[in-house]
Structure 1
Amino acid sequence: MFLSLLRRRNPRLIDAAVALHRSGELPPNTYVIDLDAVERNTAVVAAEASRLGLTAFAMTKQIGRNPDASRAIRAGGITHSVGVDLECAVAAAAGGLASGHLGHLVQIPRHRARDAAALRPRYWTVFSEQKAREAGAAASAAGYVQDVLLRIIGDGDRFYAGHEGGFDAADVVAAAGRVDEIPGVRFAGVTSFPATLFDRATGDVASTPNLATLTRAKRDLEAAGFRDVEVNAPGTTSASALERLAQAGATQVEPGHGLTGTTPLHAVRDLEEEPAIAYVSEVSHLWNGRAYVFGGGLYVDPVLGAAETDALVVGPDDDAASATARRVEMPAPEAIDYYATAPVPEGGARPGDTVVFGFRPQVFVTRALTAGIRGLDSGEPRLEGLWSADGSRPLGLADVNEGMEAAR
């Protein structure tokens, strides 16, 4: 469904991706990111957050922690990141985004706490007093006091499998007091995820029980004398969702897919943010009437359920605008995604043809590459750089030669 959105709202990204792949600048298994669109989308979110008195931290895992994208986000007005794990925070910092929040969803491992403290995050989420003590010891060693958020859980709250953990929301006042006594940390507020989710029945974003839990926790904490309680409320974050969060008492929001126009709501409704990411591959070979397409990044975020995936197969003399969208058979979730396949008519595809997908990505869990493009608005697209899914430089022939020389 995001392919049709791209074709309608950002066809220049598809055209540029095809041209760069044809020229050899863009390898298959690469997510291409319209950096100008990301900057504009960020400005939309940042302006609405500012209007509502919210602090926005950018989530970059979905776009492969691409440092060029981090710079575009900063230029758009969001200066700090949320790191889903420590590596995410480090990669975002390398791209120029200061560390706004870490430890949520993934806690900081015990022996990495000093590495986390070196980033001087504004907020550090802990699921237990033990983790608060680790954060406090690391912050003390670095010479500062760390603001911490407590991950809380109330009756009826919703969590994805494997995301559970935290403090009992019914005991949040006592827990905040105990954490506040730990050297090196200061209790600053509460968090949970997801605070909002897309509701397929209504075709809109809805609050989860978790958001009500956060609202009650803030009320209880303020009644007990805590001041300036932060409420971090991530989940399905685009500019259109921010007012709901602010009304519930949120103070922090964490746009991720909103910055690339790929939240579930973007799939069913035209929002201010425009689609800014596509996946580019190439036909490897043909077999029994099907084109086999190189994979490596064929992970479609399952938040929309078992949505079918389409792609454009564009030959060397073809125009992407007139190409037929073909239904793609994606690899099974339990399989390694060496290839996807698509039925093609006789003579309808050749090895080397460009293939363009549009779907909601989670690049950081793949072995894909990412590439930012600037200049689509001017009609002179240029590739800013090529990066691995973890935000590092991909290894190339020079690295091989260096390694072989060292081995000699």
Structure 2
Amino acid sequence: MFLEMVKKRNSELIDFAVTLHQQGIILPDTYVIDLDKIKENTEKMVKKADSLGIELYFMTKQIGRNPKIAETIIEAGIKKAVVVDFREAEIMMENNIPIGNVGHLVQTPKHFLKRIMNYGVDYITVYSMEKLEQINSVSEELNIKQKVMLRVIDDNDALYPGQYGGFQLDELDENIDRMKSLEYCEIEGLTSFPCILYDKELKDFKLTHNVETLKKAKTLMEKQGFNIVDMNVPSATSIQTLPFFEEMEGTQGEPGHALSGTSPMHAEVELEEKPAYVYVSEVSHNSRNSAFVFGGGYYARGNLENVLLDNEGKRSQSKVKPFPSDNIDYYLEIDGKQTVGATAIMAARTQIFVTRSQVALVKGLNSNKPELVGIYTSQGREIERN
């Protein structure tokens, strides 16, 4: 999906990734991430967001919940993370990374609330009255006021399987009195996901029905006396989509894939953000008329298509065959017989945190002083190297 863009816009990353593999420094099933490109992309996005008065929280799940990447993004100007779930929150907390929002896609478990509220978080996103009441109880115990963001949904909204939940728009009004009784919860924000999606036919982004749901919810809540300060409108937050925020009445974005130059549009158009990672594997064996490379990092929605093969400097390309998502990616099959042990370089949209891959962070590619910073698990924990 992104291989041609990486070859065109960050070929140094491919070259160094090949070197790391062929010198035995990294093993197959490793994502190699360019920290300098992450920083450059972030700096550009911050400049655009600041000019529009938009607050940004960064998302790291796509690139392995990595604290070193988080530190790099903070240095570049986005000061707080949005954590997709409590496991990601743990990693950020262990590394003293400030958190702006928790609970959006995965609600915060009851017995984790006290830990994260003690740590400190701008907003906790809430799907239900029961969770609001839990937060209110912990806030009272800690003697603090906790800002809360409601996720509001409607029947015609775009929602992904495995992500259902939120206050139904047509049932919101009946909960108002209970909400007002929770004196330790400050309901100041609304959110939904996804608010923007890429339309491949239009070759541009467009707003989803979720945005209209949020606007209606905001009107309803403000009529009931709530001060809705923030409208959190995530999905595909990038330099390309930030101008949409005014139409959405959005105040907060959550860049994730754009930080590594890997939103769907980045695969087709040279946007401001440049590609910042590749996936490295190795030819394991041949069978019939196919070669098989080691798997582990496959993501079913990644649209993986092409593979670059490097056999001690001799390069060629082939096609990755479609892989059924109901199987485990022990191997990926590619067209044609290939040299066993050759390096395989791929670049597709991923969610590293759901893989069993390792992550190698590199820097210095632009200055011709490439350096391996460290190797990490897919959950962001550093691995000791011999």
TMscore range, shorter length: over 0.9
| Partner of residue 278, structure 1 | 278
Residues of 2 paired with 1:201 and 1:214: CA distance?
26
CA distance in 2, matches of 1:54, 1:76: 16
SS at match of 1:188: strand
Correspondences of 1:199-218 after superposition (within 5 Å): 199-218=199-218
Q: Does 1:315 align with 2:311?
A: yes
* Corresponding residue of 1:406: none
- Unaligned segments of structure 1, at least 5 residues: 398-408
What's 1:373 paired with?
362
Mapped pair 1:153 → 2:149: no
Cα deviation digits, residues 133-167 of structure 1 (max 9, x gap): 11222333334211001110124111012222111
User: 1:99 and 1:392, CA in 2 relative to 1: closer, same or farther beyond 3 A?
Assistant: same
Aligned AA (1:317): G
Residues 180, 187 of structure 1: 8 Å contact kept: no
- 1:389 maps to amino acid: S
AA partner of residue 294 (structure 2): F
Q: Which moved more, 1:201-210 or 1:23-32?
A: 23-32
Please give the alpha-carbon distance, in whole angstroms, between the structure 1 residues aligned to 2:349 and 2:31: 11
Displacement of 1:43 in angstroms is 1.0
2:374 aligned residue: 385
Report which stretch shifted further, 171-180 or 364-373: 171-180
Q: Deviations over 1:251-299 (max 9, x none)?
A: 1110000101111111221110001111011112223233221111112
Offset at residue 240 of structure 1 (A): 1.1
Give the partner amino acid of 2:99: S
- 8 Å contact kept, 1:375–1:382: yes
Shift of 1:69: 1.1
Superposition deviation, residue 396 in structure 1: 7.4
State the alpha-carbon separation in 1 of the partners of residues 208 and 323 from structure 2: 32
TM-fit CA distance, 1:248: 1.8
1:282–1:355: 8 Å Cα contact kept in structure 2?
A: yes
In the alignment, what sits opposite 2:245?
245
- Correspondence for 2:84: 84
Aligned-partner Cα distance in 1 for 2:188–2:87: 24
Matching residue within 351, 359, 368 for 2:348: 359
Alpha-carbon separation, structure 2, partners of 1:141 and 1:87: 24
Q: How far apart, in 2, do the equivalents of 1:197 and 1:298 lie? A: 22
Aligned to 2:125: 125
Contact kept, 8 Å, 1:101 with 1:122, in 2: the verdict is yes
TM-score by length of 2: 0.94
1:329 aligns with 2:329: no
- Name the counterpart of 1:22: 22
When residues 312 and 270 of structure 1 are mapped into structure 2, their CA distance, relative to the original with a 3 A threshold, is same
Equivalent in the alignment of 2:219: 219
Aligned residue for 1:122, secondary structure, equals strand
* 2:293 corresponding residue in structure 1: 293
CA shift, 1:107, in A, is: 0.5
CA contact (8 A) 2:187 2:226 kept: no
Report SS of the residue matched to 2:211: helix
Aligned equivalents of 2:138, 2:384: Cα separation in 1: 33
Give the C-alpha shift of residue 381 in structure 1.
0.9
The aligned runs of 1:84-103 (5 Å cut-off) are 84-103=84-103
For these two proteins, the number of residue pairs brought into alignment is 386
- Deviations, residues 188-216 of structure 1 (Å, cap 9, x unaligned): 11110000111122111000000121122
